[in-house]
Chains A and B, each alone.
Chain A
Amino acid sequence: MDPARARRSSWLNDQRVRGLVYQTLLIAGIAALAGSAIYNAVINMRARGIPMGFGFWNDVAGFDINLHLINYSNLSTYGRAFWVGLLNTVLIGVICIPLATLLGFVIGVARLSPNWLLSRFALVYTSLMRNTPLLLLLLFWYNAVLKSLPGPRQSISVGGVVFLNNRGLYLPMPVARESIVWFVGAVLTAVALAIGFRAWARRRQDRTGAQSPSALVAVALIGGLPALVIATSGAPFVFDIAQLSGFNLKGGLQIVPEMAALVFGLVTFTAAFIAEIVRAGVLALPFGQSEAAGALGLHRGLSMRLVVIPQAMRLITPPLTSQYLNIVKNSSLAVFIGYPDLVQIFAGTVLNQTQAAVQVMAITMAVYLVVSLTVALALNTFNTRYALKGQ
């Protein structure tokens, strides 16, 4: 073969050259698609009078929001509405994540119970929740349960302090008195002392081998010190209990049915998945580990604490974090029952009113992306630091 021709064909066959060619084609293709999309968007937006900048941020919103953690009225700006929605989403996350974790661990442990009936009950619960759409659960709680509660005048009352009616759940609202300073101080001191005791007990065990009941001491301190304060200087709070006034209940801490339904639905739904994660994590541990612990003379409690749970937590943490992310993402179903979260306010009402679809969706998605990617990054760091060495 003509040597020049051989060289040329071998250049095209070079893997690196091929790779570059493929990548260039891909980038060119994506760029072309994006370019035409943007071109069309600009034309369409101009034709329909849709604003193209972010100026709408400072326009007056003109709508009310029934749950706002910061000041808001219908004269506030769209920007302010964004922050209200964001805070409401954060609120749901902060409430649901600990509750779902607690319920999920309880049900997960029940699933692992040697008692056949308990384990089956937990199985029925998780099977039911995992095979029902979350939306159906939310609609059921909101429409069928909460909305069919009686009106404020016939509220269901629990002990005269908690009231349930179709306007929401009314809990006693704690109002601080001056003695709250002493109370908080007592709690903090108790916690500090408990931690200190535990550290001292650890060192003592290292030195002499003797063990001390740190858990009991901690409970006694955290229960006892604040109780002492209450006994001497009176209650740190007074409770403001809701009272019937006219056609409505006034006072107390009102939890609107939208929020109650969302929290209830999200917690019960996600707990089923967390239960399965806990169960899978514990079962994935080779049985030989607890056998070896038993063979060394460790009784069941110690074996759990020192051998089984530390290893199971490593397996449980990544899928658990992913469920937490799901709670945040699933809170967007608030749109269906009218809870004013970020999606309902911003991607719903604000988008409809301003028609600035591109900008609104970009901002909304950016918020969720930031949360997801931050958590993913944190999880990666966790994995590399705590992965079992040598594996």
Chain B
Amino acid sequence: MDSLAYVREASEPEEAPPMLSRGLLAWARTNLFSSIGSTLITLGCIALVGYSLPQLVAWAMTHAIWSASDGAACRQHQDGACWAFVIAKWDYLRFGSYPVAERWRVDVVEAIGAALIVWLLWINAPQRGWGAFLFFVVYPILALILLRGSSWLGLPIVDTQLWGGIFVSLLTAVVGIVFSLPLGVLLALGRRSTLPAVRLASVMFIEFVRGVPFITILFMANNLLPLFVPERWTPDRLLRPLAGIIMFSAAYMAEEVRGGLQSLGRGQYEAAMALGLKYAPMTALVILPQALTLVIPGIVNNFIGLFMDTTLISVVGATDFLEAMNNAIKDPVWAGPTIMVTGYVFAGIFYFVFCFGMARYSAHIERVLAKGRK
């Protein structure tokens, strides 16, 4: 066919690829058996799975105890998980020692919070500005009144020492984000400011908080806050770790927002200034809306990290989900060798499902945003 000149007469037909180049066989060839080493690794992995998977399934499902009223059955069958323990303790794990009659208040607060968060995170939702106002301003006040109680409204006061479990973990994480986001935005803007005192103050705060372990921030809040205010204003025992969490989260939030501001590029600032906008309107109307949308995935990641960090507040006497589990495990009625492992595994599954779910969501948001930007 090859010569100096050539003009095609008939088109080449399209063909299907050869057997070994397509389908499951080809995939297996390249991905599992492409070399001797790879084949050995594949066989090793399959052996590992074959050995451990049946044992895991047995422990978690077939040999597990699903219903019992105390630890006797679990003590008898020690080769399986004691899910009955978790089911029995479920209310305590959710609410801590919050009075049973008032638990509906916690449910209401959680439901409203969830609805607002969905509204805010749904990229194309209408009137998100209103959602933001409700979530950041109205909701905290509402939640505080409902949870703490108020004699005016006839809601009995519930001391914060009784709050515990999943509800406290969620509360601290959400409060952390709600209050640390505005603070973080201020810090980020401060860090990029041209005024040296402002920049210095922001940098010092951020580097201080990020340079020390979170536990020391909690200790500091717990021990020093009461010293720094007059005696009659002694802060509530749950408020102290909350303050620590807000400080801590604000520093990391500031760095996320700063990244978003930087990635915006000079062009936006120049266009705004050319139109005559001053600093405040430019920042509020042009810069922040774009930067904040860009860092939504980063904010969600911060939330995940914060949710896992809330496990540390038990060191200053607050009862989060993990601490509630620790307390539940000590119940003599249920004592037995499988209880501790069951409890911890369940806690692990809980955190994993929650955090992994949020992480997937954050990745999804990132993809949606990236498409929009192209």
User: Whole-angstrom distance between the alpha carbons of A45 and B352 in the complex?
Assistant: 44
CA distance A373 to B304 in the complex (A): 26
Stretch with Cβ within 8 A of A (4 or more), from B58-66, B228-236, B362-370: B228-236
Q: Quick check: is B198 within 8 A (CB to CB) of the other chain?
A: yes
List residues of chain B with CB within 8 A of the CB of A219. Answer: none
Stretch at the interface among A129-137, A194-202, A307-315: A129-137
Tell me if B201 and A30 are in contact (CB < 8 A): yes
User: B173 to chain A: closest CB distance in Å?
Assistant: 12
Cross-chain contact B215 with A114 (CB below 8 angstroms) = no
Contacts of B46 in A (CB 8 A): 117
Contact B227 A114 (CB under 8 A): no
Residue B317 is within 8 A (CB to CB) of chain A in the complex: no
Q: How far is the CA of A143 from the CA of B42 in the complex (A)?
A: 35
A94 at the interface (CB under 8 A from B): no
A368, B216: Cβ atoms closer than 8 Å = yes
Minimum distance in angstroms from B133 CB to a CB of chain A: 26
Name A333's contact: one of B42, B220, B312, B341 (CB within 8 Å). B312
Q: How far is the CA of A41 from the CA of B225 in the complex (A)?
A: 9
Q: Chain B residues with Cβ under 8 A from A238's Cβ?
A: none
Q: Do A115 and B31 touch across chains, with their CB atoms under 8 A apart? A: yes
Size category, A interface:
35 or more
Q: Do A144 and B351 have beta carbons less than 8 Å apart?
A: no
Name the one of A45, A135, A143, A332 contacting B216, with C-beta atoms under 8 angstroms.
A332
Shortest beta-carbon distance from B312 to chain A in Å: 6
Partner of A136, one of B201, B315, B322: B322
A364 at interface (Cβ–Cβ under 8 A)? yes
Stretch at the interface among B86-94, B144-152, B204-212, B264-272: B204-212
Q: Which of A1-57 contact B (CB under 8 A)?
A: 19, 22-23, 26-27, 30, 37-38, 40-41, 43-45, 47
**Chain B residues positioned under 8 Å from A148 (CB to CB):** 337, 340
Question: How far is the CB of A214 from the nearest CB of chain B, in Å?
Answer: 25
B111 beta carbon closer than 8 Å to chain A: no
Residue of A nearest to B45 (CB): A117
| Nearest CB in chain A to that of B345: its residue | A140
- The answer to whether residues A330 and B213 also contact, given A136-B348, A144-B341, A347-B219 and a CB cut-off of 8 A, is yes
Q: Is the CB of B351 within 8 A of A115?
A: no
Least distance between A343 CB and chain B CB atoms (Å): 6
Q: Which residue of A lies closest to B210 (CB)?
A: A372
Contact of B31 among A40, A114, A139 (CB under 8 A): A114
Q: Min CB distance, A28 to chain B, in Å?
A: 11
Which of chain B's residues has its CB closest to A357's CB?
A: B223
Q: For B208, what are the chain A residues with a Cβ–Cβ distance below 8 Å? A: 365, 369
In the complex the two chains form, is B45's CB within 8 Å of A26's CB? no
Expressed in whole angstroms, the Cα–Cα distance for A333 and B215 within the complex equals: 8
- The reply to whether A133 and B344 form a contact with Cβ atoms under 8 Å apart is no
Interface pair B211/A368, CB less than 8 Å apart: yes
Is B174 interfacial (CB 8 A cutoff)?
A: no
How many Å from the CB of A346 to the closest CB on chain B? 10
- Is the C-beta of B41 less than 8 angstroms from some C-beta in chain A? yes
* CB–CB B315/A336 < 8 A: yes
Q: Indicate with 1 or 0, residue by residue over B345-367, a CB within 8 angstroms of chain A CB atoms.
A: 00110011001100100000000
Given contacts A44-B231, A117-B32, A329-B213, contact A132 B198 (CB under 8 A): no
Q: How far is the CA of A236 from the CA of B10 in the complex (A)?
A: 82
Separation of A330 and B216 alpha carbons in the complex (Å): 11
Q: Identify which of B114-122, B155-163, B189-197, B283-291 touches chain A.
A: B189-197
Q: Which of chain A's residues 74-131 have a Cβ closer than 8 Å to chain B? A: 113-118, 121, 127-128, 130-131
How far apart are A128's CB and chain B's nearest CB, in angstroms? 7
A131 touches B351 (CB 8 A): yes
A133 x B311 contact (CB < 8 A): yes
Given contacts A114-B30, A135-B312, contact A144 B344 (CB under 8 A): yes
Which residues of B are found within 8 Å of A187, using beta-carbon distances?
none
Are the C-beta atoms of A361 and B224 separated by less than 8 Å? yes
The answer to whether A329 and B212 have CB atoms under 8 Å apart is: yes
A351 within 8 A of B: yes
Which residues of A are found within 8 Å of B304, using beta-carbon distances?
Answer: 131
Q: Is the CB of A131 within 8 A of B356?
A: yes
B215→A357 contact, CB < 8 A? no
Q: Which residues of A contact B309 (CB under 8 A)?
A: 133
* In the complex, A244 has a CB within 8 A of chain B: no
B311 touches A115 (CB 8 A): no
A302 interface contact, C-beta 8 A:
no
Among B197, B215, B314, contact of A26 (Cβ-Cβ < 8 Å): B197
A136 partner residues in chain B, CB cutoff 8 A: 311, 322, 344, 347-348, 351
Q: Which residues of A contact B226 (CB under 8 A)?
A: 44
Complex contacts, A143 vs chain B, CB 8 Å: 340, 344
Residues of A within 8 Å of B231, CB to CB, are 44, 47
Would you call A343 and B348 a contact (CB within 8 A)? no
Bound CA–CA A128/B348 (angstroms): 9
Contact A115-B224, Cβ < 8 Å, known A19-B195, A133-B308, A135-B311: no
**Quick check: A373 and B207 within 8 Å, CB to CB?**
yes
Nearest-neighbour CB distance to chain A for B184, whole angstroms, equals 18
List, in ascending order, chain A residues with CB within 8 A of B41's CB.
Answer: 113, 115, 117-118
Residue of A nearest to B230 (CB): A40
Is B212 a contact of A44 with CB atoms below 8 Å? Answer: no
Residues on B facing A (Cβ under 8 Å): 30-32, 34, 38, 41-42, 45-46, 194-198, 201, 207-208, 210-216, 219-220, 223-224, 226-231, 304, 308-309, 311-312, 314-315, 322, 326, 337, 340-341, 344, 347-348, 351-352, 355-356, 359
User: What would 15 A/B residue contacts be, using CB atoms closer than 8 Å?
Assistant: A23-B195, A40-B227, A45-B227, A132-B351, A135-B311, A135-B322, A136-B348, A136-B351, A343-B213, A351-B219, A351-B223, A361-B219, A365-B220, A368-B216, A373-B207
| B-binding residues in A (CB < 8 A) | 19, 22-23, 26-27, 30, 37-38, 40-41, 43-45, 47, 113-118, 121, 127-128, 130-136, 139-140, 143-144, 148, 329-330, 332-333, 335-336, 343, 347, 351, 357-358, 361, 364-365, 368-369, 371-373, 376
Apart from A22-B198, A23-B195: 5 A-B pairs, beta carbons within 8 A:
A23-B198, A131-B359, A329-B214, A365-B212, A372-B210
